[in-house]
Chains A and B, each alone.
Chain A
Amino acid sequence: MTPVSAPAPSRPAAVALLGIAKKFGQFVALRDIDLTVAPGEFVCFLGPSGCGKTTLLRIIAGLERQNAGQVMMAGRDVSGLPPSLRNYGIVFQSYALFPNLTVARNVGYGLETRRRPRAEIDRRVDELLTLVGLSAHKAKYPAQLSGGEQQRIALARALAPSPALLLLDEPLSALDARVRQSLRHEIRALQRRLGVTTIMVTHDQEEALAMADRIVVMNHGVVEQVGTPMEVYTRPRSPFVARFVGQMNFLEATAGDRAGWARLGTVEMRHDATEALVAGTRLTLAIRPEEILVGPAAEGRENRLVTRIRAVQFLGPFTRLSLTLPDGAPALECDVAATAFAALGAAEGSELALALRADALRVFPLAG
């Protein structure tokens, strides 16, 4: 299992999962999940649908019961506690706002049973509505608000009782792209300000990269990688992570005679991977489209290839080139800034020289 950055010994982890496993009938949804989340951290569970990320969140929430393993919160074993005794707030994809209660009543819902004086509840509700910038909508019903506003009300409701942990289950996926962008920043800023430990489930890698302190990439019920957005993006530990987070080119190659070298067709490629492989072992080289150097930038560099431009796709700030290797090997995709592409003076069908930077080349054992 990936070693995770150890929490400071003085404070217990906000959430610690020890060997969590879950099956539905014969289908194993999660196997042997270990994870710690430090206090105040924003962690994203990222993965394709069916990877078990929502199940894992629901196990933490106590809404789903695991077949094995322990859930610890702030050093306390909560595995046997029902949801109501776990002290967290949750925002669902549907928001699940109570449609027959006003915005203020929704936000105050969790405070009213705690036998607090009315004035105190009202003050807390006002405070939270100000925090999410919706004080003006106090007396409205949820159906009268936009999707983004409803989302913020759900957030305020979850935060009202000051929970130790905030759980977000695909909170932005029901919104349109523009609202989603601005809410990302808003949720992140709010989380920083309150310092509340947060776990968010998402299938949107961009969202995870933009919001998380650490990303937990999941696939088929196991954790593929845990790391900061930068680590996950630049040093993916498996082809799955490489493919799921960002774009990635994969090239079939074989291990060279010397360590740090691989053979791609007839060309020797130097790479920075340290793992020693027996010469001739088949492997996969991977490089991101924007890391490929083209034209003048590629001149005089190692790992040079000459390719042909098969298709040009203008995507606004950059241009995506589909390239074929001279031997007709699988196409590479390469992103070039729009201005740089104009300077190249290249078009579909023309030849293009490029270089695959050794420090950008990842090496994976040949697998799916």
Chain B
Amino acid sequence: MASALPSLPAALPDRTVRHRLGAEDLVRWALVALLAAILYLFVLYPLLQVVWRSLLANDGTFVGAANYRRYFGTPAIAQSIGNSLFVSIVSMAITVTLAFVYAYGLTRTRMPGRGVFRLVAMLPLFAPSLVQALAFIYVFGNNGIVTRTTGWNIGIYGAKGIVMAEVFYCFPHALLILVAALSATDARLYDAARTLGASPLRTFLTVTLPGVKFGLVSACFVVFTLVITDFGAPKAIGGKFSVMATEIYNQVSGQQNFTMGATVSVVLLIPAVLAFLVDRVVQRRRYALVTASSRPLAPAPRPAADWGAFAYCALVAGAIAGMYLAIVVYSLVMRWPYNFTPTLRHYRFDTVGGYAPLLNSVYVAALTALVGTVLTFVGAYVIEKCRTAWSGPLYLLAVLPVSIPGMVLGLAYIFTFNVAGSTLNVLYGTLAILIVSNVIHYFTVGFLTATTALRQMDAEFENVSASLGVPFYRTFWRVTVPMALPSIVAISMYFFLNAMVTLSAVVFLVAPGTELAAVAVLLMDDAGDAAQAAAMSVCIVAIGLAVRLGYWALMRGVDRHTQAWREPREAATEAVPR
């Protein structure tokens, strides 16, 4: 219609008509402001403090890049960069290779015992990385059982030991991602390959590998980040082999050189942030392999492959189980490896004041789960469903923590919350700061899990309730939360288990009276009390397993009672810990 055309686009104002603000909008904006304040105070501001302190001398005068020049100019310290990259890349290559074959066996063969293999492989999730290192020391160390009985000392202290411990520590993380990637496939692709006469090798190279390439990339980055930011394993088994995380610890705890600690922290941030960014760019190109019409792949029996996979998985699972067995036995005998008389005396924990650290850990982990779950879920809701101009920046702040190494976060909190005369000081030395640091340290995975769950919901729910005059928070409570309950439970479990085993984010923040179990393991091991360290490790793993079991029972209850509306084939989604 010609008469309508003359109104030029340029004549249109960029602003849209404003809607009157109601009480609901006040709630909405209050939530946005609260989330922004929390993320600023506990993520951005502390991080900026680290960067700022790296530019100061220890007496507080501005020295520019002098600390960095000293860092790179002191070979003893600078060495830690190369060392960190070396163990991270080697561990990554070994872990992902081992985990890929294991995941292939679990998902693509009919080998017997798949359920047991899957369970055993998850064991390392329940222990601090430090514990894997201790296990290797108990077996291969100077006083290890293998060393003592065979006289063969493989020289475990150093890069070799770090890599071995990290491979065990990261194995379940990589495995979870690869199992998910290998499960999401379409049997019709394999049918097509077969009808076109492709050989098994060709099918593997042209169908299987391309299908899991995003999973492989993800697994690589996750392992790389876990290793380069890990503190526990290199601390326990690294000996004189210094990596960046232990270097920060040495500078801060050993030499009280906070500015050098900050400098190493900023340098350590770079590979972690880079790994995260590259992974996100790669994953953005990901496309859906599985559609509604896909048919799940049911592997056919292939005796040679099945038994080959069985032998391999039995070997790997046996090694993992063996390591844990070593820790359990170590904690229950008089003096490993000389006197195997059973005893419970190592469970008295007299050097760290009994069971207080363990109780602290459970308390902190439970509150981390509670606070973390509420914060990530409400945060994801605010960012996803209350679209404001703030959504973009807040999203970035919410995904940032995953690339902050625990040591860096801990140091950042010292700079932020241990400032004489600051009101922020009230948190310092309390259990609360441990909870906060855990929540932030593990924020991103919980947040992304919640975001995924929210994005799967119909975007019109909020619009429908608005049209019916129902405030959004009511629909949030009556519809959104019940629908997302499986994800919410998974998020809280993720927070709990990680809070139980983390060391790096809390090692700088524990104070007299707020000791945690994982830190106690470190202290007892440092003090030469290896048996008590082992006993404490056993307790940590046992609590983790018990809670996991409780969650499993709870999930079944949750499914039965609140998810009755779901179609039976729809399984509850679980967060992939990373």
Q: By the criterion CB–CB under 8 Å, are A142 and B565 in contact?
A: yes
Q: Give the nearest-CB partner of A92 in chain B.
A: B460
Smallest beta-carbon distance B577→chain A, Å: 27
- CB–CB B469/A141 < 8 A: no
Within 8 A of B (CB), among A58-87: 61-63, 65-69, 79-86
Interface residues on A, range: 35 or more
Partner pick for A61 among B14, B467, B562, CB 8 A cutoff: B467
Instruction: Give Cα A83 to B565, complex, Å.
Output: 29
Give which listed residue, A67, A82, A92, A161, contacts B15 with CB less than 8 A.
Answer: A67
In the complex, what's the smallest C-beta–C-beta distance from A138 to chain B, in angstroms?
Answer: 14
Q: Considering the complex, give the chain B residue whose CB is closest to the CB of A61.
A: B467
| Any B CB within 8 A of the CB of A137 | no
Q: How far is the CA of A344 from the CA of B465 in the complex (A)?
A: 60
In contact, B466 and A82 (Cβ under 8 angstroms) = yes
List, in ascending order, chain A residues with CB within 8 A of B86's CB: none
**Residues of chain A within 8 A of B25, CB atoms compared:** 82
Residues of A close to B470: CB separation below 8 A: 84, 109-110, 112-113
Q: Mark B5-47, 1 if CB is under 8 A from A, else 0.
A: 1010100111111111010110000000000000000000000
> In the docked arrangement, what's the CA distance between A184 and B349, Å?
76
Residues of A within 8 A of B463 (CB): 61, 63, 83, 90, 92, 96
A99 partner, pick from B16, B17, B565, beta carbons under 8 A: B565
A163 closest partner in B (C-beta) = B467
Asked whether A110 lies within 8 Å of B565 as measured between CB atoms, the reply is: no
Q: Which residues of B contact A61 (CB under 8 A)?
A: 463, 467
Interchain CB contact under 8 A, B467 and A96: no
Q: How far is the CB of A209 from chain B (nearest CB, A)?
A: 21
Q: Which residues of chain B are near A101, meaning CB under 8 Å?
A: 478-479, 565
Residue B474 is within 8 A (CB to CB) of chain A in the complex? yes
CB nearest to B467 among chain A residues: A90
Would you call A236 an interface residue if the criterion is a C-beta within 8 Å of the partner chain's C-beta atoms?
A: no
Q: Are A113 and B471 in contact (CB under 8 A)?
A: yes
Q: Say yes or no for A308: interface residue by CB 8 A criterion.
A: no
> In the complex, what residues of B have CB within 8 A of residue A62's CB?
19, 466
Given known contacts A98-B479, A114-B469, A23 and B3 CB-to-CB distance under 8 angstroms: no
Contact B19 A82 (CB under 8 A): yes
For B479, what are the chain A residues with a Cβ–Cβ distance below 8 Å? 98, 100-101
Give Cα A364 to B466, complex, Å.
45
Q: Is the contact region of chain B dominated by helix, strand, or loop, or is it mixed?
A: loop
How many whole Å from B535's CB to the nearest CB in chain A?
46
Chain A residues whose C-beta falls within 8 Å of the C-beta of B466 in the assembled complex = 62-63, 82-84
Q: How far is the CA of A81 from the CA of B7 in the complex (A)?
A: 26
Least CB distance from A98 to B in Å reads 5
Instruction: Tell yes or no: A333 within 8 A of B by CB.
Output: no
In the bound complex, what is the Cα–Cα distance between A113 and B467 (angstroms)? 12
Distance of A1 Cα from B25 Cα, bound (Å): 37
The reply to whether the CB of B483 lies closer than 8 angstroms to some CB of chain A is yes
Q: Does B76 contact A (CB under 8 A)?
A: no
> Out of A32, A161, A223, which one reaches B468, CB within 8 Å?
A161
Complex contact A113–B469 (CB within 8 A): yes
Scan A8-20; emit 1 where CB is below 8 A from any B CB, else 0. Answer: 0000000000000
Chain B, 121-170, CB within 8 A of any chain A CB? none
In the complex, A26 has a CB within 8 A of chain B: yes
C-alpha spacing A66/B562, complex, angstroms: 40
- Counting CB contacts under 8 A, is B567 at the interface? yes
Q: With an 8 A cutoff between CB atoms, is A94 at the interface?
A: yes
Q: A113 to chain B: which residues have CB within 8 Å?
A: 468-471, 474
A176 to chain B, nearest CB (A): 16
B12 touches A1 (CB 8 A): no
Q: Mark A98-111, 1 if CB is under 8 A from B, else 0.
A: 11110000000110
Does residue B348 face the partner (Cβ distance < 8 Å to A)? no
Chain A residue numbers with a CB within 8 Å of B565 are 99-101, 141-143
B 536-573 to A, binary, CB cutoff 8 A, 1 in contact else 0: 00000000000000000000000000111111000000
Question: Which residue in chain B gives the minimum CB-CB distance to A70?
Answer: B17
Chain A residue numbers with a CB within 8 Å of B483 are 99-100
Whether A28 is near chain B, meaning CB under 8 Å from some CB there, is: yes
Give min CB distance, A143 to chain B, whole Å: 5
A63 surroundings in chain B (CB, below 8 A): 463, 466
Cα A23 to Cα B482 with chains together (Å)? 37
* Nearest chain B CB to A325 CB, angstrom units: 31
| B461 interfacial contact with A, CB 8 Å | yes
Q: Are B20 and A66 in contact (CB under 8 A)?
A: no
A-B contact pairs, 8 of them (CB 8 A): A31-B4, A31-B5, A32-B7, A84-B22, A84-B470, A92-B460, A113-B469, A222-B1
A interface list, Cβ under 8 A from B: 1-2, 21-23, 26, 28, 31-32, 61-63, 65-69, 79-86, 88-90, 92, 94, 96, 98-101, 109-110, 112-114, 141-143, 157-158, 160-161, 163, 167, 222-224, 237-238
**Closest A-B pairs by Cβ, 4 of them:** A110-B468, A65-B16, A96-B460, A141-B565
